[in-house]
Amino acid sequence: MPRQIYQLERDLRAAKNADNTADNETSHDDVVVDGDFPAEGLMKTDGVGGYSVIDDNSSTWDVAADHSTSNGSDHSFIDQSVVSGAIPTFTGTNITGVPAANILPGTFGTGDYIVDGLLRTENAIHILEITTPAAITNYGAIYTKSNNQLYFQDGAGAEHVIHGDSFSNIWYHGASTSVTIASQDAFIKIDIIENVGKEDDTGNAVGSSANNEITISTDSGGVYDINFHASITSAGANREMLICPGIEFVSPRVITDVTDNAVSPIVVTIVGHQFRNGDMVEISNVGGNTNANGSFMAANKTADTFELVALDGAATTGNANYTSGGTVDICFPGNMVMHRTVSQTQIGMGGGGADQTLSAGDKVAMYVANLDAASDLNIFMISLEIKKIGD
């Protein structure tokens, strides 16, 4: 047998180790073997023929993972800080430093996973319900809460509902029912409501037949379309009446000054009041000049003041010097008023509506004022409906 063939056969029959390497195998220039490394780990080349081991706690796992570009920018990988629990950081398309507790074990990157409260499945993205977060300047935030609404918060901290239905209606229809009007030129709440109609399923607008009103709940403030309808007669002679919705403020507008004794018309100061000429207001708790308490129409407004005119158009005059206090508790918007002579014998019908801004906690109810006398109103039907249309 030629010597070369004999030598090859002997080598093939040599004893083998468990890893299928020969006992007599050694390292040389173009072969790297297990014996070249003192510990288990990743093999790293220095590019010039040298090799080293990267153990499990190496800070260079990310370098080892980079196998196509100089900086790994076209890969999504997690570095060693996943193990150490460092604060997450994001660079390009790479996700680094995500705490291990916030990753759904075993499935990150392929299927379902969670990162900092955001659950990603193959068919949907699920957002953890939270409370309103602290704003970050120049950054917007999208999140959800336990009230089934989706929010956008701008960098200044203003919160906007992206989607959240809010609507309700309350009503009465039946035999003629009287509303007692005890005073002329003063608004009285209509208190005969029997039914609460269809409402949103998130409780953003809640009607009450017991309290004859609709309440705007937390986080549900915004612009609402308000509409009402009524069928009525006068309980006495034909009377001039006002029928309209009233917005009961959760935070009454604070009066800072009122003109003094004998001044006509009475002028009220509320910084930045936003009432319009023709709006009507209910004022209470004015000290000194008590003629400023009651129901009035706003006229000749400025940014911070407006004159008080009686509901029947008469001028107002102070009865003493102003001392302190006073609030506007209710606004009756002037652009949705049914103002008419109500017949004692003929049923009158009417209604109105307009867009109004409501705050969380505000209440909306129906009111009536008799401009001629303290005589009652008979109601056959009345309804009040509100629907949110924007933020």
124-128, 148-152, 353-357: which is most confident: 353-357
More confident residue, 350 or 113: 350
Q: What span, in angstroms and rounded, lies between the C-alpha atoms of 317 and 266?
A: 6
Q: What string of H, E and C letters represents the secondary structure of 88-149?
A: CEEECCEEECCCHHHCCCCCCCCCCEEECCEEECCCCEEECECCCCCCCCCCCEEEECCCCC
Map residue 79 onto helix, strand or coil: coil
pLDDT at 89: 43
Among 106-110, 144-148, 161-165, 237-241, the least confident range: 106-110
Task: State which amino acid sits at residue 292.
Answer: A
* Percent of the chain residues past pLDDT 90, beyond the cut: 56
Mean per-residue pLDDT for 61-90? 42
Task: State which amino acid sits at residue 125.
Answer: I
Q: What span, in angstroms and rounded, lies between the C-alpha atoms of 219 and 391?
A: 10
CATH 2.40.30, domain 256-325, yes or no: yes
Mean per-residue pLDDT for 353-382? 96
Confidence of residue 17 (pLDDT cuts 50, 70, 90): low
- DSSP state, residue 84: H
pLDDT digits 0-9 by tens, 251-302: 999 999 999 999 999 999 999 999 999 999 999 999 999 999 999 999 999 9
Q: What span, in angstroms and rounded, lies between the C-alpha atoms of 60 and 39?
A: 17
Which segments of the chain belong to CATH 2.40.30? 256-325
pLDDT digits 0-9 by tens, 76-111: 444 434 434 444 444 333 344 444 444 444 344 444
Torsion region of 2: left, alpha or beta (phi above 0 gives left; psi -120 to 50 gives alpha): beta
Task: Say whether pLDDT at 365 is over 90.
Answer: yes
Which segments of the chain belong to CATH 2.60.120.40? 167-247+335-390
Neighbouring-strand partners of residue 377? 179, 234
Size of the chain in residues: 391
Element (H, E) at 366: strand 363-370
Task: State which amino acid sits at residue 55.
Answer: D
More confident residue, 80 or 45: 45
Task: Say whether pLDDT at 307 is over 70.
Answer: yes
Task: Say whether pLDDT at 366 is over 80.
Answer: yes
- Give the mean pLDDT of the chain: 80
Q: Which of 296, 233, 289 is nearest to 261 (CA)?
A: 289
CATH number of 167-247+335-390: 2.60.120.40
Segment 202-206 long-range contacts (CB within 8 Å, at least 24 positions apart): 202/147, 202/148, 202/149, 202/164, 202/165, 202/166, 203/147, 204/147, 204/149, 204/164, 204/165, 204/166, 204/167, 204/388, 205/166, 205/167, 205/168, 205/386, 205/388, 206/168
